[in-house]
Structure formats: structure tokens, C-alpha cells
Structure 1
């Protein structure tokens, strides 16, 4: 195996192990020693890629930003935009969060940062913005009652998605996604009923 490929694999292994550590313990209680133990590598191998816990957290933030752009790109490629597309977007975010430990870690770190007086996570903000945009387009196309308050509805989509994730406990990814889909169906049904 080429040296560059081994280096990339080590980088990925360390990042995944750090993500699991951050998900479980948060930033302040995460231990680089535990990251080393999770990987089976030496401390030198870890420090060869990441000089500090802060550097690991920054790599996870960059991952979060890349995932947000990817998810938003998928929304932009979908034809017709409205409640159905918003539901698909919310479910795709839920599926990605449940399947991606790096994303879970980035969200935990962003949540800790927000609680300490920082800004909300880029994913939370972009889900809210995308919800408003899709709802506005649905109203403009006459597929949704123009009297539906967009801001509270967009806030509900964010609360649905992230509330389900944060209260999921030991649920499997499939169970969490099912829960998000069921809650979305209720919310979309109420919106449709209000329009009718």
C-alpha cells in the first residue's frame, strides 16, 4: 500500500475515533488517550495528523460544513419545491445524521459551543433557511395556504429534526428515521388541513 494511502487511512481512522469520543463525552471530557486506544495506533500517529483536540474539532466542523453543502445541493436538484420536498429534505438530513458519526460529533460540539454563548450550528441554521425557502415557494405556487406562518413552521421543522435526534437515546438509525418521518407526516398533514 502506498504511503499516501496509509496516511489517508490513518487520518480517517483517527477522525472517526475522535468523533466517537466527542459524541460520547463532549469536547471537554474527550480524551486523546482514548482516541489513541480506540485506533490501536501510537500517540505519534495521532499527532502526525492532528496536533490537538482543537484541531480534531476543527476537522469535524469542516465535515459538518461539507455535509450541509452536499444536502443543500441535493435540495436544489429536486424538481418542484414545496412540502413534499421539505419532508424529503428533513428525512435526508435525519438519515445522514444517524449514519455519520463525524456529523453527530460536529453537532454535539456545535451544541456545546452554542450553549456557551456561540452561534447555532450551520446545519440548524441552514435547515431553518431551507424550510422557509421551500415553504415560501409552495405558498407562491399556490400549493400551501398563504396565511400559514412561515417562521413558526420553519422553527417546527428544526425542532422536529433535532428534537427527535437529541431525544432518540438508544434508538437505531432506522427507528429514528421512522420517528422523523412519522412526525413530519403529522406536521405536513396539519399544514395541509389548515390550507384546505
Structure 2
């Protein structure tokens, strides 16, 4: 058991180090040597956990799918209001994106190198389908306006991608504390969901 726990902790360190290197150097410029050196491992020891750079990238992308699925399940309980679930999962995922370099790296890999996805249904496709379904349910059960559901889902993902882009500068060494990737994104999402619902803009957005 102790050996298994050490192996698990090492694997976690490797994934975090890989995400940090991918975030700065991109997939093509990252090497296993760079990842190993970042945490003081030999390349041979790293091979014991991940035999290739592709396997590292695929593990991060697969982990991001689990992060999305777990978050969706946590909000989408049987008695939950569909419109609240929609907003909750989007805001919750964006918050996680801001704080989790592994998730950010995984989504960048999924966007830039779709060939790395470990399954035909990648995390972004899965998110789009789930968000589309939530919009339809919110329209049916919660009075959400009748916008085209796939279009609303795509808009939400576009904003998430925008946050991902600003986070890329932070990961690369930016010290701009006003970046949406660092600051509280709550007002942005309140404005967007209020606009989608057709209500008046929140006071904070007008100041």
C-alpha cells in the first residue's frame, strides 16, 4: 500500500509538472526531459509512469473530462432548477479553470491538438452536448428564453475559451492582477446570464 501511495503521489507530481511545462512551452516544444528535470526525476523514472509525451497529454485531457463530469453531477441533482444548474456548472468550471493549471493545460491541448484526445468524444464536445441539454431543460422547466440551445452552449464555451486565453498569459509569467484569469469572474458571468435571460444589466456592470 505504501508503494502504491508513493506511485500515486509521483504520478500527480508528474502531471502537474507536465501541465506547467505545456502551459509555457506548448505541446510541440515540450520534452519528457524538461518535465523530468522540473521535478528532479530521471527520464527513465518518468518512463515508468508515462512512456511518451503523448501519453502525458492524453492523461491530462482524460482528467479534464472527469473534472467536468464530476462538476456536472454535483450540480445536476434531481430537485435542482435547470437554469441554476446551467449557471452553476459554467461558473464552477470557469472558477476551477482559473485555479487549476492541469485543467487549463488539458483544455489547451484539447483545443490545439484534437488528435491527442483519448476518445472520439473529447471534453469540449462533451461539454457542448451537456450545456445544450441543460439549456433545453431550462427552457422547458425554468422559463429560460428560447434562444437556440446549441448556440447558447457555444457562446458559453467561447467565453470559457476567452478566459483560457487570458490565463495563458498568466501561466507564461504575467503579473497583471486585473486579468480575468486571476480576478473574480463573477460579475462577468452575472452579466452574461442576465443578458441571456433578457433582464436588466446588474448594477455592477453599469458602473
| TM value normalised by structure 2 | 0.78
Q: 1:188 aligns with which of 170, 186, 193?
A: 193
The C-alpha deviation readout for 1:104-143, integer Å capped at 9, x for no partner, is 2211211121499xx9983322332222222211221251
Cα displacement (A) at 1:93: 0.6
Q: Structure 2 CA distance, aligned partners of 1:100 and 1:22? A: 13
Q: Which residue of 2 aligns with 1:53?
A: 53
Are 1:132 and 1:151, in contact at CA under 8 Å, matched by a contact in 2?
yes
Q: Is the 8 A contact 2:138 2:144 kept in 1?
A: yes
Q: How many residues are matched?
A: 192
What is the match of residue 101 of structure 1? 101
In 1, Cα distance between the equivalents of 2:156 and 2:120? 15
- Which whole-Å CA distance do the structure 2 matches of 1:135 and 1:86 have between them? 7
CA drift of 1:91 comes to 1.0
Where structure 2 has 5 or more consecutive residues not aligned to the other structure, the ranges are: 171-175, 200-207
Separation in 2, partners of 1:97, 1:128: 16
In the TM superposition, 1:72-111 aligns within 5 A as 72-77=72-77, 79-111=79-111
Q: What's the offset of the Cα at 1:30? A: 0.4
The unaligned stretches of length 5 or more in structure 1 are none
Q: Which residue of 2 aligns with 1:158?
A: 157
Change (3 A) 1:188 1:153: same
Tell me if the contact between 2:61 and 2:123 (Cα under 8 Å) persists in the aligned partners.
no
- What does residue range 1-196 of structure 1 map to in structure 2 within 5 Å? 2-77=2-77, 79-114=79-114, 122-141=122-141, 143-146=143-146, 148-168=147-167, 169-170=169-170, 175-176=180-181, 180-193=185-198
Contact kept in structure 2, 1:97 and 1:103, CA below 8 Å: yes
- Output the CA distance in 1 between the equivalents of 2:141 and 2:27: 45
Contact 1:95 1:177 in 2 (8 A): no
Tell me the TM-score normalized by structure 1.
0.82
Superposition CA RMSD, Å: 3.0
Evaluate the alpha carbon distance shift between residue 173 and residue 62 of structure 1 in structure 2; reply closer, same or farther with a 3 A threshold.
farther
Shift of residue 27, structure 1, vs aligned partner: 1.3
2:113 aligns to what SS in structure 1? helix
Going from structure 1 to structure 2, the CA distance change for 1:10 and 1:70 (only over 3 Å counts) comes to same
Q: Which segments of structure 1 move beyond 6 Å, counting only runs of 4 or more?
A: none
Q: Tell me, yes or no, if the aligned pair for 1:78 and 1:85 is still in contact at 8 Å.
A: no
Distance 1:77 1:167 in 2: 32
